[in-house]
Amino acid sequence: MRKLLFLIVAIATAAFAGEGSAAGETLKAFSALGAGVGLGLAALGGAIGMGSTAAATIAGTARNPGLGGKLMTTMFIALAMIEAQVIYALVVALILLYANPFM
């Protein structure tokens, strides 16, 4: 946790380091930082969700092998929903990077 905090502070320091930098440049730097951190957290949450979904499906199939097909179908639907949320975060990150509405 300390390493992550140190990394964020180091990146923020680099964003403020320019002498006489325009407000637009600082906003671009923070937009890039926000897009990277937001997408990273979304991917982390998606990976955790996908792992727990797969683990629950494997456990359910091990308990009742007859329901394996139905569980797999439900798992693939759940994985698609989880992945859709990560893709939405990617779209927001790309908007922040390339079509920044705050500038």
Neighbours of 96 (CB within 10 A): 21
At residue 34, the pLDDT reads 85
Q: What value, to the nearest 5°, has the Cα angle with vertex 8 and ends 6 and 10? A: 65
Domains in the chain and their CATH numbers?
A: 2-98 (1.20.20.10)
Distance CA 87, CA 41 (A): 12
Q: Please give the model's pTM, rounded to 2 decimal places.
A: 0.70
What are the pLDDT digits (tens) for 75-93?
A: 999 999 999 999 999 999 8
Q: What value, to the nearest 5°, has the Cα angle with vertex 39 and ends 21 and 43? A: 160
What are the pLDDT digits (tens) for 4-39?
A: 777 777 676 666 665 555 666 777 888 888 888 999
